[in-house]
Amino acid sequence: MARVLVMIPSGEVYDHDSVRWYQHSNVQRSIDHYHNIGDAFVFDSSLKLMNYEKQAELPIMNPNMDHIDRLREEYDYVILRGSNYVHQHMDWTDAIPVLKRLGLPVIAFGIGAQAPVEGQLELSDQTKTVLKVIADSTASVGVRGAYSAQVMSDIGIKNVRIIGCPTAFRRNDPEMRIELPRLDEVRNIGITIRREVSPTYAQDIERYLTFHRDLVKEMAGRFDATLMAQGEVEEKKLVFGTDDQKEEAIAALKANKWASDWYLDETVEKLYRERMFYSDVVADYESLVRTKELVLGYRLHGNLMAMANGVPSIYFTYDSRTVEFAETYQIPSFDIFSGGKFRLEDYWDQALFDKYNQAWYRTYGEMYLFLTENGVDHKMVETDKQVPDSVRRVA
């Protein structure tokens, strides 16, 4: 089986193909550190799609080139964990000399571009060079959607394949599909929350946060809801912190003008104290979503983890990244900047989720082809990329 190097991992590997944050049991070690555990979802899911004998991290910061030479002899290829790398602020440290010295294929596993609210996306020469080195090393570069494919094309990289995200396929069941229960039977739901946001990518922060607040309150008032955080420090402290740290977290939220003016009212504070979930272990999120009949909200990977387990999800789009994911998989989604009012009943329509089922199946086929044409030893099942009767409905 293959020997795999991982470029920019997000957590430590245990039980061969499972991921958790570094020293996860020592919660105080990282309680003041923001890390998006959704990145670990992608890393974990990538490993679950592959057959491999061993894996190790490829160092791209202050590398010892003699060590890089040894890695060339000991490993077969590199995987670059899918993430939002294609933007104007990406710092690749010493990736260029490392990849050129290493000379192994670099499997870009669903990378994506992020468009700013204003102006054109400007990529650094460093980013362009890294992407071209990667593209030249493999048959194809895996990107998450059409926008990312266009950005790559604009810098001269044409050998791209739209594969979405490995998280969608982590169960490796080509006939996975979403079947809606009756809405009046739905009791337990998850709300994926993302309080922190950048004005570089979200065009109206007040609308973003007030809509977020109202969604949380409405859904939590209607269902037995769990708030699913993915890394913000204050939310982590409310789950893992001491009593003093929990009060510090609430005080910090109240001192934050955006949060205090537009997000944290009395109801949301109570929900934060009583209904918050966070974990540094990917498997904990998967166990949680399997207990839900619906997961919806702002977190791209938190929602996708649910859909990967057959649980319906609705996306709330607010930047090019979330829009691109919703388009790739035809996920039912609501544009929070549209000015409209969200009604869950409008989205509780099997025909909408059948569009997702079909797009998911086609993208599964693209992921299979991507891994196969790049020589990755994997577990995916060959499909004809056509929708079989078991996942087709007549609208």
* pLDDT of res. 104: 98
* pLDDT of res. 265: 98
Residue 28 makes CB contacts below 8 A (sequence gap 6+) with none
Asked whether residue 225 falls in the same domain as residue 335, the answer is yes
79: confidence class by pLDDT, cuts 50, 70, 90: very high
- 3-state SS, residue 46: helix
Q: Does the residue 368 lie in any domain?
A: yes
d(CA 133, CA 79): 13
Angstrom CA distances, 125 to 86, 97, 130, 243, 246, stand at 12, 14, 9, 48, 44
Domain containing 135 equals 2-173+360-373
If you search the block for the tokens 């998850």, which residue do you land on?
190
Asked whether residue 159 falls in the same domain as residue 199, the answer is no
Residue 176 has pLDDT above 60, yes or no: yes
179 contacts 230 by C-beta, under 8 angstroms: no
Q: Residue 203 sits in a domain of what CATH number? A: 3.40.50
Residue 389 has pLDDT above 80, yes or no: no
21 contacts 40 by C-beta, under 8 angstroms: yes
Dump pLDDT digits (tens) for 265-279: 999 999 999 999 999
Q: Which two tokens stand for residue 259?
A: 């949060």
Q: Which two tokens stand for residue 101?
A: 């010295």
Asked whether residue 88 falls in the same domain as residue 46, the answer is yes
Q: Does the residue 395 lie in any domain?
A: no
Mean pLDDT of the chain: 95
Q: Does the residue 319 lie in any domain?
A: yes
Asked whether residue 151 falls in the same domain as residue 299, the answer is no
Give the orientation angle of helix 243-255 with respect to helix 233-240, to 10 degrees: 150
Q: Does the residue 77 lie in any domain?
A: yes
Asked whether residue 71 falls in the same domain as residue 12, the answer is yes
d(CA 321, CA 145): 9
Asked whether residue 342 falls in the same domain as residue 366, the answer is no
Asked whether residue 216 falls in the same domain as residue 80, the answer is no
Q: Does the residue 390 lie in any domain?
A: no
- Per the structure, the count of domains in the chain is 2
* pLDDT of res. 201: 85
Dump pLDDT digits (tens) for 203-234: 999 999 999 999 999 999 999 999 999 999 99
Dump pLDDT digits (tens) for 86-120: 998 899 999 999 999 999 999 999 999 999 888 88
Q: Does the residue 388 lie in any domain?
A: no
Which helix (DSSP H) or strand (DSSP E) does residue 81 occupy? strand 77-81
Sort strands 224-228 and 276-277 into parallel, antiparallel or unpaired. parallel
Q: Does the residue 298 lie in any domain?
A: yes
pTM comes to 0.95
Residues in the chain: 395
Q: Does the residue 384 lie in any domain?
A: no
